[in-house]
Amino acid sequence: KAGVTQTPRYLIKTRGQQVTLSCSPISGHRSVSWYQQTPGQGLQFLFEYFSETQRNKGNFPGRFSGRQFSNSRSEMNVSTLELGDSALYLCASSLERPGSGANVLTFGAGSRLTVL
């Protein structure tokens, strides 16, 4: 069974640009969550989607957005990039609806974004 696939794995952008990251969840998983990992702030929750609906959102500015498609694939977008957006962006999928059961999240390898 294929795991969570994130593309691209690495990318470099300049300040002011925008970026779109993609996540393909494990087949059959309907929930997709996004987390940002930085050396300074650690792992921070961005947002979570279930059945194409955003169920929960973290404390990030409106420049960070996401969506989920009918096949459960998800994308996140960051507009007007800032130096501080440099991070590893991790996507995770789960079978259950968040809040039900053990909430077992399977993470992808991440997309490492560098903003120059």
Applying CB under 8 A, the span of 18-26, 60-68, 76-84, 108-116 interacting with another protein comes to 108-116
72: left (phi over 0), alpha (psi -120 to 50) or beta: left
Contact 11, 113 (CB under 8 A): yes
Does residue 87 belong to the site contacting another protein (CB under 8 A)? no
Applying CB under 8 A, the span of 17-25, 53-61, 65-73, 78-86 interacting with another protein comes to 53-61
Q: CA–CA separation, 3 vs 82, rounded Å?
A: 30
> What is the separation of C-alpha 98 from the centre of its chain, rounded to a whole number of angstroms?
16
Does residue 23 belong to the site contacting another protein (CB under 8 A)? no
Structure tokens at 37: 């990992």
End-to-end CA distance of the chain: 37
Shortest Å, Cβ 92 to another protein = 8
Does residue 20 belong to the site contacting another protein (CB under 8 A)? no
Does residue 103 belong to the site contacting another protein (CB under 8 A)? yes
Q: CA–CA separation, 12 vs 47, rounded Å?
A: 23
Does residue 45 belong to the site contacting another protein (CB under 8 A)? yes
Residues in the site for another protein, rule: CB under 8 A?
4, 6, 33, 35, 42-43, 45, 48, 55-56, 58, 90, 92, 98-99, 102-110
